Amino acid sequence: MALKLHSARRGRLSMTSLIDVIFLLLLFFMLTSTFSKFGEIELMAAGRGPDRGERQMLFVKLGEDSLTLNAQPADLSRIADLIRLQPQAGDGHLVLISPSEGASSQRLVDLLTQLRQVADLQAVVLG
């Protein structure tokens, strides 16, 4: 008695479903990735550094909701104008920035962005 074995027929694999899955994955990764523009802010930490020459030193205290320039209250949007009004000695201004515990890093970045508008200014962030 001989047994007849039926060989299984292989059907064609449909590429449509594979293309759909690839398209959905591509769409998912495109929508979940962030398209943020990274910026760079140059910082100089306090300590021994290059010779600063003769610069007019200014002190900025950065708080969570406050900002002072040489112990006088100041507005973040007008800080560049206030520094320009300060007398210069020699090579420009040296601004020492002391952020408080409550000051956010975004607030520090906003301050440094405003200070970039002032010519001959060197900003130093204190620890």
| pLDDT tens-digit map of 10-62 | 777 778 888 999 999 999 988 888 777 777 767 666 555 555 567 788 999 99
Domain boundary assignment for the chain: 56-125
Please tell me whether the overall predicted TM-score, pTM, comes out greater than 0.95 for this model: no
Q: Quickly tell me which residue has 């002190």 as its tokens.
A: 59
Instruction: Please give the pLDDT value at position 51.
Output: 56
CB 92 within 8 A of CB 56: yes
Closest CA to 75 of 85, 63, 84, 66: 66
- The answer regarding whether domain 56-125 maps to CATH 3.40.50.300 reads no
Q: CA separation (Å) from 79 to 14, 36, 68, 74?
A: 66, 27, 9, 7
